[in-house]
């Protein structure tokens, strides 16, 4: 609950980082997360796992692809919050389970049960409805859902066996050179806020590393201790809190049309939840998610 709760409150954290832009926040998030992971791994003397990234090229390519996908997810999410689109970002994470199921069918050739087919169909209908009603495609929601869904797919396809801390360290290490270059460019253009908005602002940017790693590690620890069905049901805490943050705290307006769209998505999620409860294997353990918004 703490992990999902922290992820759900991220809109308030990223809004507090204004006037920093999405690219600056992304860069600091990557670099401070990598530094935190490096310190922890050095203290634990836990660096031997990194050799397999060199010995197994497919694993290295998989980590690189996963890193790029999660970077897209992170920057779009932060840009959505800073741009006043937190509720659309929440829709993306409501859609994510449906996208994940659809990818399992069309990419991995997995077979769906009737309720899963119904959920995918209803989820697709929700996307069409929202697009037609709003006169535009819900780009933010679809980008977040697809990027995170593809992130999970890459993990599954390459058979990554890294622990949560190892995976986060490897992926941020891949992104670190890009983040460093972005900060240099932003600094040269006078568009950074790290040293210009006071000590509290600087501290919040530095804390992005801990804010990224803490819920991941909480989730990794909890996933080994609670049933899969509990993980599945609790995951909706995150988008619900994101939605509440957007409407109640950040004062975003949610039209009647968007509420109807959310309702259709929730119906699809209800079907997925019922199907999961009915078909939960007796001793199945969940696969760990390696990163989140």
In a domain, 292, yes or no: no
The kind and range of the H/E element at 176 are helix 164-188
- Structural domain count of the chain: 1
Q: How far apart are CA 269 and CA 262, in angstroms?
A: 10
At 100-149, the pLDDT tens digits run 888 888 887 878 788 888 888 888 888 888 878 777 788 999 999 999 88
165 alpha-carbon distance from chain centroid:
16
| Rounded (5°) CA angle 261-289-120 | 30
Coil, helix or strand for 45? Answer: coil
| Residues 159-174 pLDDT 10s | 556 788 888 899 999 9
What is the value of pTM for the model shown?
Answer: 0.85
Task: Please state, in angstroms and as integers, the Cα–Cα distance from residue 12 to each residue in 84, 151, 246, following that order.
Answer: 12, 25, 9
Q: Tell me whether residue 288 is in a domain.
A: no
* Structure letter (DSSP) for residue 136: S
Does residue 179 have a cis bond before it (omega within 30 degrees)? Answer: no
CA distance 101 to 128: 18
93 found inside a domain: yes
pLDDT beyond 80 at 158: no
Mean pLDDT, range 261-287, rounded to an integer: 75
Instruction: Measure the CA–CA gap between 99 and 141, rounded to whole angstroms.
Output: 11
Query: What pLDDT shows up at residue 161?
Result: 64
Q: Output the CA–CA distances (angstroms, integers) from residue 73 to 82, 144, 230, 268, 277, in the order listed.
A: 14, 5, 25, 23, 29
Domain assignment of residue 286, yes or no: no
Domain holding 194, by residue range, is 2-278
pLDDT-based confidence at residue 86 (cuts at 50, 70, 90): very high
User: Is there a domain that residue 55 lies in?
Assistant: yes
Whether the CB-CB separation of 265 and 95 falls below 8 Å is answered with yes
Helices 199-206 and 208-223: angle between axes, nearest 10 degrees: 30
Q: What is the CA radius of gyration of the chain?
A: 19
The answer to whether residue 227 is domain-embedded is yes
Q: Is the pLDDT at 55 greater than 90, yes or no?
A: no
Is it the case that residue 156 has pLDDT exceeding 90?
Answer: no
């Amino acid at each position: 609950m703490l992990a999902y709760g922290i992820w759900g409150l991220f809109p308030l954290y990223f809004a507090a980082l204004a006037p920093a832009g999405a690219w600056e926040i992304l860069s600091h998030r990557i670099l401070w997360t990598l530094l935190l992971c490096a310190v922890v791994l050095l203290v634990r003397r836990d660096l031997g796992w990194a050799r397999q990234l060199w010995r197994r090229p497919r694993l290295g390519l998989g980590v690189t692809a996963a890193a790029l996908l999660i970077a897209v997810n992170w920057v779009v999410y932060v840009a959505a919050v800073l741009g006043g689109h937190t509720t659309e970002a929440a829709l993306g994470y409501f859609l994510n389970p449906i996208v994940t199921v659809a990818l399992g069918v069309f990419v991995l050739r997995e077979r769906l049960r009737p309720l899963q087919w119904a959920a995918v169909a209803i989820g697709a209908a929700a996307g069409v409805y929202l697009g037609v009603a709003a006169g535009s495609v819900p780009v933010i929601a679809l980008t977040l859902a697809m990027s995170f869904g593809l992130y999970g797919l890459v993990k599954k396809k390459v058979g990554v066996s890294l622990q949560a801390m190892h995976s986060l360290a490897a992926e941020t290490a891949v992104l670190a050179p890009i983040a460093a270059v972005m900060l240099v460019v932003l600094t040269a253009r006078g568009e950074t806020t790290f040293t210009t908005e006071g000590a509290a602002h600087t501290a919040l940017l530095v804390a992005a590393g801990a804010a990224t790693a803490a819920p991941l590690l909480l989730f990794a620890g909890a996933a080994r201790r609670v049933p899969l069905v509990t993980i599945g049901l609790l995951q909706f805490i995150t988008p619900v809190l994101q939605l509440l943050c957007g409407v109640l705290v950040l004062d975003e307006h949610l039209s009647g049309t968007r509420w109807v769209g959310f309702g259709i998505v929730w119906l699809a999620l209800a079907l997925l939840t019922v199907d999961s409860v009915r078909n939960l294997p007796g001793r199945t353990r969940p696969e760990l998610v390696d990163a989140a918004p």
